[in-house]
Amino acid sequence: MAPDFSVGCLTFRSGPVARLSCGLAAPKDRSLQILGDKGTITVRDLWDNRSAIHLERTDATRSLPRLLANRVEARLGRFLTWKPEPGRKLAYPAATGRSALPAFPSQIDFARGIADQANAIAAKQKPVFSGALALHITELALALN
C-alpha cells in the first residue's frame, strides 16, 4: 500500500459498520464511492457541486460497455482512465439562478455552508450544519486519528 494509506471503522448505533479509507491506494481522481450490501453510490467529482451521482444495485445487470471495459482492464492489467459509469444517473432538481462558480479549477462553493447557516438563522430555523454536527465530525476525525 501507499505510504499515506489510512483506514478506520465506524460502528453506528443502528448496527452497520462503515470502513473509511483514503490515500494513494484510492482512484486518482476526485470521486467518492460508497459501497453497501445492496449497491454502490458513486459521485464522480467532489469538486463539483452538481457532479454526476450514479446508483448501482448489487443485483442489477451490468451494461455491455461496462463489461467490455472491465474485460479490457483485466487483460491490460491496469485501470482505464475512462470507462462508463456504473448504474443509473440520479437527477438533480433544476438549478435555480445562474452559477457564479468558476469553471476551473473547481466548482466548489466554499461559502455555501456559511450562507445556508445564515439563511436558516435569519428564517429562525435550525441550520443543517449546526455546531453539534461540527463537534460530531471533529470527534470522528479525532477517533479515526
CA 97/CA 109 separation, integer angstroms: 14
> What is the average pLDDT across 116-134?
88
pLDDT of the residue at 108 = 76
- Evaluate if residue 33 carries a pLDDT over 90: no
CA 34/CA 57 separation, integer angstroms: 12
pLDDT of the residue at 103 = 61
CA 90/CA 122 separation, integer angstroms: 32
pLDDT of the residue at 106 = 67
| Residue percentage of the chain with pLDDT more than 90 | 11
Examine residue 105 and say whether the peptide bond preceding it is cis (omega within 30 degrees of 0).
yes
Query: Strand 6-11 relative to strand 17-22: parallel, antiparallel, unpaired?
Result: antiparallel
**Average confidence score pLDDT of the chain:** 81
pLDDT of the residue at 125 = 92
pLDDT-derived band at 97 (thresholds 50, 70, 90) equals low
- Evaluate if residue 99 carries a pLDDT over 70: no
Query: Please, where are the H alpha helices in 12-111?
Result: 64-76
pLDDT-derived band at 87 (thresholds 50, 70, 90) equals confident
Query: Please, where are the H alpha helices in the chain?
Result: 64-76, 112-122, 131-144
Q: Kindly give, in sequence order, each residue whose CB lies less than 8 Å from that of residue 37, ignoring residues fewer than 6 positions away.
A: 58
pLDDT of the residue at 55 = 92
3-class state of residue 116 by DSSP: helix
22 phi, psi to nearest 5 deg: -155, 165
pLDDT-derived band at 117 (thresholds 50, 70, 90) equals confident
Q: Answer with the residue of higher pLDDT: 137 or 102.
A: 137
Q: Where are the domains of the chain?
A: 6-97, 111-145
Cell of 76: 491490460
> What is the average pLDDT across 95-110?
66
